[in-house]
Amino acid sequence: MSDEHSTAGSYVHEGEEFERDMDYIPDRLTRAGGEPVDHRAGTGKESPADAPRWPVEAGRYRLAAAKACPWANRAIIVRRLLGLEDAIGLGLAGPTHDARSWTFDLDPGGKDPVLGIERLQEAYFARYPDYPKGITVPAIVEVESGQVVTNDFPWITHDFFFEWTDHHRDGAPNLWPEKTRDEMEDVMKRVFTEVNNGVYRCGFAGSQEAYESAYDRLWTALDWLEERLSTRRYLMGETITEADVRLFTTLARFDPVYHGHFKCNRAKLTEMPALWGYARDLFQTPGFGDTTDFEQIKRHYYYVHIDINPTQIVPTGPDVSVWSTPHHREELGGSPFGDGTPPA
């Protein structure tokens, strides 16, 4: 199956279930002189032991991302929460792409000002001239060589926390607290398989049977999250963790896109009290709402997925001002950054 956050094309295959291709460039950016910290990165999949290692080095790499893409949006959020802006540059592609690649059409002249390229495809081909797979965001690109290093999105944010610690800002939050780390891995895996990927399983189902199965799985997970978040402010308790980042990017897209475009329409996010309050709490936390662009999100999905929306008409609604209304989640206690501080 085609991997949605790569390039335009056919995503719905008649009679088939959607299956995300998780075979990414496995390289890791790790601290010199030590073994990398290895968990499951919230997917249940170990990093290959023989995956190439690149040294962590401020200024050497650039994060190529797009605010429209939920997988890239999480990398943008984590980079900001940890204060890695001075250590890792950020190149933002526009919300739409064609069958070849994401493009840097938001920049003057249509080129990334640091990498000097029009298409992210150029960085992939600089390392792999015959790269056969989708050109995905997020991706880490080495600035000097212009070559892609990795596009393995669960490990990118994992390593931002564990391997880039020397470059974290003072007061950076603990996104992987040791006391809840094992449980968090399990929570993130369920969020990934059943929610982050579950909405795509609904939207790209190739048969009624596949769609209904995907729909039931998604809402079983959302009901579980609604119950979990009715008694705790964040997924893992009193402070934000990477688990919250990963869930937030799907929730932010739920009413504008997934509810209608992907047929995940049992209820809107605004009709789920705990999840809606939780989502607004995060949106109003520095690092989340200020990295979310609802117009780019809508334009990406409704314009690129011509299988589902052949007219490419982008809806005007919903009203996003509701994201700034009071959430009252502080009544559950806790604080987003714990002993840390918000990003500037």
Task: List, by residue number, the catalytic residues.
Answer: 69, 200
Q: How many CA atoms lie within 13 A of 33 on its CB side?
A: 1
3-state secondary structure of 97: strand
Compute the radius of gyration of the chain from its Cα atoms.
19
Best CA proximity match to 117, nearest among 128, 98, 103: 103
Q: Is the dihedral of CA 96, 97, 103, 108 positive or negative?
A: negative
Bridge partners, 237 (sequence order): 234
Cis upstream peptide for 318 (omega within 30°)? yes
- Residue 84: what are its φ and ψ, rounded to 5°? -95, 15
Read off the tokens for 332.
């559950």
Q: Give the angle 7-46-13 at the CA atoms, nearest 5°.
A: 35
